[in-house]
Amino acid sequence: MTTETTPVSPAPVPAGARGHVPERSQGLVCPNCSGTVPVAEGARIVQCPYCNLHSLVQGERGVRRWQVPRQIDRARAEEGVRGFLTGMRKARDLSRAATIDEMMLAYLPFWRVEATVAGWLFGRVRKDKDETRPDEHEVFELMNWNDAAVDVSEFGVHRIVVSRADLQPFESQNIHAEAMVFEPTESRTDALDEARGYFLGRARNAAGQRSTTYENVQLLRPEFALVYYPVWIGRYSYRSRTYQVVIDGVSGRVMYGKAPGNVLYRAMALVVGLAAGNLVLVNGTMLAARASSDDNSLGLLLLPIVVGIGLILNGYRQFRYGEEVEDRPKEFQKAGSGGGLLGSFLPTTGNLSEMMKTGQSVLVDLEKISREARRDR
């Protein structure tokens, strides 16, 4: 991180003031000795507690750095890895045959943006089946966004769950002595643009408008920072192959993991996907056809087709690519990422019971719509 500071002439320091750290402080790096300098909220001139250099803080162009203290030790992290080795989707003997080879503590950098999102959106919302009405929606909400500031393709962790209260001033020497520290490589400008897009998307979703004719949404007092977050990276071996698990260094949860798949489960996934998908395709299309009475029912007719094909593809995907399985909890994936068109009503975890429940729920809803359509006639 580059923190822009301008050295100024030293000034007398009152007795007892040296070493004093304000309650709300942020860590910057001294340009003279590279020590961590505590900076009070809104302070413009700071003094290095190590070499006494006075500096002028250029807050608009500098990036404030924070760290989140580690709460999980190596033993608890290993327990998290061993817990990950169990599960129906994974090889049946994985928990017995796998050997944990390495546990490494690392601090990954994440861009963090917090701002009050304020403005108005004007458009139209649905009034009834065929009509819309004018709508105006006010937005005034404190929002925050974060994303990995380094290539995390190997670790699979794009986002962290962190609040302002969790942040502590960055202490470079201490965390470098404790763990491997990754420095940011991703663009700050791209991060800001992505954060703005995420905030605007949330505002649009909250408005719920069918169409938006005008919007004026601003970010008030945006705060941009770099947060170093602790993770335990565990590597284990199974049948001469190496896999990786990432454990949250604060909560102990699995943030990402890879494991060999269960052959029997893959076959069951294919059978269940085919059965549930065909059930929805055949019965769902018939129910939708009964409920269709005009041209506006095209979406209703397409629904069982899309869901049925999606369930079949989901089962086939697990069978075809289930030799290795990945655990990717949603809260650690990129903010705003979703399943697209199918993501709102298809299972994303690969759970067989969820696949069947999805098919059954679609048929139940279509049956209700069909009965109401016949009653209205």
The CA distance from 292 to 286, in Å, is 10
Three-point CA angle 128, 118, 43, nearest 5°: 165
The CA distance from 358 to 351, in Å, is 11
For 191-234, the pLDDT digits (tens) are 999 999 999 999 999 998 888 999 999 999 889 999 999 999 99
Question: What is the average pLDDT score of the chain?
Answer: 78
Report pLDDT for 304. 76
Task: Retrieve residue 296's tokens.
Answer: 């506006």
For 66-88, the pLDDT digits (tens) are 999 999 999 999 999 999 999 88
Task: Read off the pTM.
Answer: 0.66
The owner of tokens 């059978």 is 271
- Angstrom CA distances, 313 to 95, 174, 303, stand at 30, 49, 15
